[in-house]
Structure 1
Amino acid sequence: MALPWRVYQMMMNKHPWKVQILTAGTLVGCSDVVSQQLIERRGFANHDTKRTFRMIAVGLTYVGPVLGVWYKVLDRIVIGQNKTAAFKKMLLDQFALAPCFLACFLALASAFSGHSSEEIWLKLKKDYKDTLITNYYIWPAVQMLNFYFVPLVYRLPLIQVVALMWNTYLSWMANKI
């Protein structure tokens, strides 16, 4: 396990932006597999591979780039690594980014699935509030730890590992009828 981690760190040092985006895409895709197999209990014979690739695309084109940029912006807006700075970053993350990010995630995942704008709007009206409330149960504490202890270059990969289960939930929410 040590060798893959060293290779990952080496790649993060050489190509942080690319590696962060690829990590996000990969882990969002893994979350969809977990969602389909453990939550929806589809079985591998009924696994929707196209859906998994759509979720990977959401991770590569939306989750990775948006969060990668967001964490850099937060470090410019709020300077420091102390508890107060971490708290301010968490507040901005949860009250400035999270509401919009989740709405866009649900809409984009639905759009990638071929849903019409009317269907996307109905999905948001039906699922957005519950998704945002669930977000607030999980992410403030995780983000406090992330902003306080984790160097900027490792924030997105760490969050994506923690988010494996969260993205499983989001994949399920985004793809349920």
Structure 2
Amino acid sequence: MLRWYTARLAARPLLTQAVTTSILFGIGDVAAQQLVEKRGLEKHEFARTARMALYGGVIFGPAAATWFQLLQRHVVLKSPNATILARVACDQGIFAPTFIGVFLGSMAVLEGSSPSEKLSQTYREALLTNWMIWPFVQLFNFKVVPLHHRLLFVNTISIGWNCYLSYLNSASARKLEYVRDD
């Protein structure tokens, strides 16, 4: 399976990474709805899964693939360990805060709600939770995983992370609906 993926990656890198990201973002939402929220198939919000998959494939996948290449090319120090720490610092200081905001804002737009309300309710919690998990994941990723498999590694770990983001985003949407109904 990894050989097949690597061949697709060599032939069409950005497309392969975007499709993979889309699928794994969708799986993260399915996990949120079925394993965490225990909705059951009859109450599954397929539009929500589609929004997650769309965001993963159109926005996050291409952006993260490009980001990893940028870090590889431009963040290079004399010491390999210093390089890895600098890449993690860039990733967590620039990419993570930006793309958590992009995710929450995109979801709000796709749901027809207010991006500013969504961001004010969930951004801080999402970013702080991110910083408890992702620096360690990215240390391993930048140290051990070859560049062409870094996004796949992140996407695999992201099944759980996207489950969390989907749940957080959905809880925020429910909270906003409750406030509007009052």
Question: TM-score higher than 0.5 here?
Answer: yes
Structure 2, gaps ≥5 residues long: 175-182
Q: 2:85 maps to which residue?
A: 87
Out of 160, 168, 172, the position equivalent to 1:173 is 168
Matched, 1:145 2:143: no
Distance in structure 1 (CA, Å) of the matches to 2:4 and 2:96: 32
Percent of aligned positions with the same letter in both sequences? 34
Deviation at 1:145, TM superposition (A): 0.7
Q: 1:111 maps to which residue?
A: 109
Out of 67, 71, 76, the position equivalent to 2:68 is 71
Contact residue 24 and residue 64 of structure 1 kept, 8 A: yes
Deviation at 1:111, TM superposition (A): 1.1
Deviation at 1:112, TM superposition (A): 1.2
Distance in structure 2 (CA, Å) of the matches to 1:70 and 1:5: 22
The alignment's TM-score, normalised by the length of structure 2, stands at 0.90
Distance in structure 2 (CA, Å) of the matches to 1:65 and 1:112: 19
The alignment's TM-score, normalised by the length of structure 1, stands at 0.92
Q: How many residues align?
A: 171
Contact residue 87 and residue 144 of structure 1 kept, 8 A: yes
For 1:89-144, what per-residue CA distance to the aligned partner results, in whole angstroms no more than 9, with x for missing partners? 000000111111101111101211222xxx22111111111100000000001001
Distance in structure 2 (CA, Å) of the matches to 1:113 and 1:60: 17
Distance in structure 1 (CA, Å) of the matches to 2:110 and 2:149: 28
Distance in structure 1 (CA, Å) of the matches to 2:32 and 2:12: 30
